[in-house]
Amino acid sequence: MASCDPKFDLEQAFSKGIASAISDEAAKGDPQIKASNDNKHGDFQCNAALAIARAVGANPRDIAAQILAATPLAALGTAEIAGPGFINIRLGDSALHTMLDRVCMPDLGIEPAPRAHAIVVDLCGVNVAKQMHVGHLRSTILGDVVARLHERLGRKVFRENHLGDWGLPIAMTMSALKRQKRDLKSLTLADLNHAYRAAQLESATDEAGLEAARTRHAGPHRIIELEIQHGSALAAEQDAKATLLRLQAGDAATVAQWQQLIDVTMTEVLETARVLGVDLTNKHSRGESFYRDKLAPTVQAFIDAGLAQVNQGAMVVQFSDRERPLLIRKADGGFLYSTTDLAAVHHRVNTLHAGEIIYVVDARQRDHFRDVFDAIHLIGWDNLADGTQAKMSHLAFGSVLGTDKKPLKTRSGELFTLKALLDEAIQRGTEQVKLRAKQTDSPTEGTSDQEIADIGRAVGIAAVKYADLSGDPIKDYVFDLDRMIAFEGDTGPYIQYAHARIASLLAKSDATESAISNAAWIFNHVAERALVLAILAFPATIKNAADLGSPQRVCSALHELANSYATFYQACPVLKAPDEATRLARLRLSQLTKRVLAQGLHLLGMEAPNRM
């Protein structure tokens, strides 16, 4: 099947030319094909001659001439040498026609790139009885887009929501609710979140404070007060431990209560995912409880392999290149997050047959995952049955900041809940759509309240997601709804508006679908040519974004495409084109642009409204 990636085709052609003219060794390097900064000089530029000339001590223009003479360019276009040894390339119309025809296929030129093994994307990572906050936003939507990209390339993907549903904190919440005689069936997640935090405080012992009060001979009333608080905390802690033991033993009533906490939590989590347009269901959620019977065998496996040793009563894995060990069992026999993560990797590689595991978790966990990955490699649990070594990577991300450049919090100092954040975004998006609907001749003039609400929701969610996805994930970013919600600039609504504008244009056209799809390509104007190149860049962008775990590449490509179409729209009349052939050609180019924008928005988990 013909390629639709001009950059790839040029790289292949110039690599052959370099091998023929210079050497096979030189051809192993990057042929340095770059998009031209000035379309007056061509569409692309090959800069390889300068580096090769330095390596062999020759004149760059002479090297460029040798490479150009040996490069099979006839089917792609023409080229000429410029400056100190640049090779400017202009693609031929015939080559562009062929590539555009390929992108016009149902798959938009995005060829499957299946892998022999599945990919696991670890995303979301909520805790039972705790509300989702802004920190979960990034893990959830970044993970969803990474999964979508790999799925689009035909790969088997497991979304894994590593649910924090086990351990003493959960038991503390359960025992506190039981002491309060609360009806679990009537509780909301906000109630559970409050109970979770209250239980943490209630069980917090202060032995050091009590001892200090006694040593310093504090007043008897203060000592009695601390003794009562300490005793109450110890009782709460013991009650929680008893609850945990009943849960671990499978006591039916305790397990039923535990399941109710999970159900309340997941109801809101899944509703938030639905509003966000994220593919996340109960089937994707595998809690820490799933691994509880695998933790002791995990530690034992490291002991048997001679990889774990006792350190101050605890069991640790040491590494040769760092002082920091990986703690896998506490001195009291308790297990840790690291133990669960080791067991999870073993399950994902050996049961899910994952050849790649991508952890979408905030940057503060970088050292933790480095240690877990290295421990897995030491014990050999990253080897699949066919000898393939699974790839494990941490897609780290920074924090969401307020306009004061500090972590985004409410006025009371608490983290914003994700639900509150999304509600605000949807409200602001709806307000913007309402304002536009009041304008004369607006595409949404006369639109029903329900449709305006639907468009407003799509705009608000796209604004939030695009702002998060369009930058380098490792960097913190400022949450500024005024900027995010704008219909201009590098925003989600701007991309959506470009799609809606084309939909409106096509709706006004009286041309049939057959006439448009069978129109001959014509692009004599520089703006038409720039739009064609922006379209042709899309399939390769999707593959690169998936391979590099880089959703921002998709955002950048869509923004470039929307900008290119805006320039084309202003410079090249479509409905009032000078002749019928040009009109149909421009309609076809518009229709293809709309399809690419819709596909890109879908891969970002955003809607593509036809009216805005």
Residue 564 shares a structural domain with residue 442: yes
Task: Give the Cα separation of 103 and 565 in Å (integer).
Answer: 17
Full 3-state SS string of 148-193? HHHHHCCCCEEEEEEEECCCHHHHHHHHHHHHCCCCHHHCCHHHHH
Query: In angstroms, rounded to a whole number, what is the distance separating the alpha carbons of residues 398 and 396?
Result: 7
Average pLDDT for 585-599: 98
Q: What is the mean pLDDT of the chain?
A: 91
Considering the domain boundaries, does residue 209 fall inside one?
yes
The domain that holds 536 is classified in CATH as 1.10.730.10
β-sheet with 314-319: strand ranges across: 308-311, 314-319, 322-329
DSSP conformational letter for 320: T
**Average pLDDT in the 393-408 region?**
89
pLDDT at 448 exceeding the cut of 80: yes
Quick one: pLDDT band at residue 407, thresholds 50, 70, 90?
confident
Q: Give the count of beta carbons closer than 10 Å to the beta carbon of residue 153.
A: 20
Going by pLDDT thresholds of 50, 70 and 90, the confidence category of residue 1 is very low
337 near 167, Cβ under 8 Å? no
Residues 428 and 571 in one domain: yes
Cα-Cα-Cα-Cα torsion 191, 193, 199, 201, nearest 10 degrees, comes to -120
Task: Say if 282 falls within a structural domain.
Answer: no
> Does 473 share its domain with 585?
yes
Number of domains in the chain: 3
- Note whether residue 61 is domain-resident: yes
> 210 pLDDT exceeds 70?
no
233, pLDDT greater than 70? no
Question: Same domain, yes or no, for 182 and 65?
Answer: no
Top pLDDT among 366 and 217 is at 366
Query: Which residue among 91, 126, 155 closes a domain?
Result: 91
CATH code, domain carrying 49: 3.30.1360.70
Q: What is the pLDDT of residue 365?
A: 95
pLDDT at 231 over 60: no
pLDDT at 410: 61
Which of 271, 297, 322 represents a domain boundary (last residue)?
271
**One domain, residues 561 and 455:** yes
Has residue 372 been placed in a domain? no
CA angle 361, 191, 278 (to 5 degrees): 35
The CA–CA distances, whole Å, from 307 to 318, 339, 445 equal: 7, 14, 69
Q: What is the DSSP string of 380-448?
A: TTTB-TTSPBPEEEEEEE--EE-TTSSB-B-TTSPBPBHHHHHHHHHHHHHHHHHHHHTSTT-TTTT--
313 part of a folded domain:
no
As beta bridge partners, residue 360 has 395
Instruction: Examine the domain organization and report whether 175 and 85 are in the same domain.
Output: no
Most confident of 164-173, 226-235, 300-309: 300-309
The last residue of one of the domains, among 239, 271, 303, is 271
Examine the domain organization and report whether 494 and 599 are in the same domain: yes
Q: Are residues 583 and 469 in the same domain?
A: yes
- 288 in a structural domain: no
pLDDT digit string (tens) for 516-540? 999 999 999 999 999 999 999 999 9
> Region 448-457: what's the mean pLDDT?
94
- pLDDT for the residue 445: 77
Residue-wise pLDDT tens digits, 464-491: 999 999 999 999 988 888 888 888 899 9
Please report the pLDDT score of residue 226 as a whole number. 45
More confident site: 213 or 510? 510
List the domain range (segments joined by +) for residue 433: 418-603
In a domain? residue 136 = no
pTM: 0.90
- Looking at residue 214, what is its pLDDT? 58
User: What mean pLDDT comes out for the span 79-89?
Assistant: 96
What is the spatial distance between Cα 586 and Cα 570, in angstroms, rounded to a whole number?
12
Predicted local distance difference test score (pLDDT) of residue 197: 80
The answer to whether residues 87 and 179 belong to one domain is: no
* pLDDT one-digit tens code per residue, 11-49: 999 999 999 999 999 999 999 999 998 888 999 999 999
Q: What is the SS3 assignment for 46?
A: strand
Give the pLDDT of residue 438: 85
Contact 488, 470 (CB under 8 A): no
Min mean pLDDT across 254-258, 371-375, 476-480, 548-552 is at 476-480
> Is residue 367 a part of any domain in this protein?
no
The full 3-state SS of 466-527, as one line of letters, equals HHHHCCCCCCCEECCHHHHCCCCCCCHHHHHHHHHHHHHHHHHCCCCHHHHHCCCCCCCCHH
Kindly state the DSSP code that residue 127 receives in the 8-state scheme. B
Q: Are 437 and 557 part of one and the same domain?
A: yes
13 CB contacts (<8 Å, ≥6 apart)?
A: 71, 72, 73, 76
Indicate if 474 and 573 belong to the same structural domain: yes
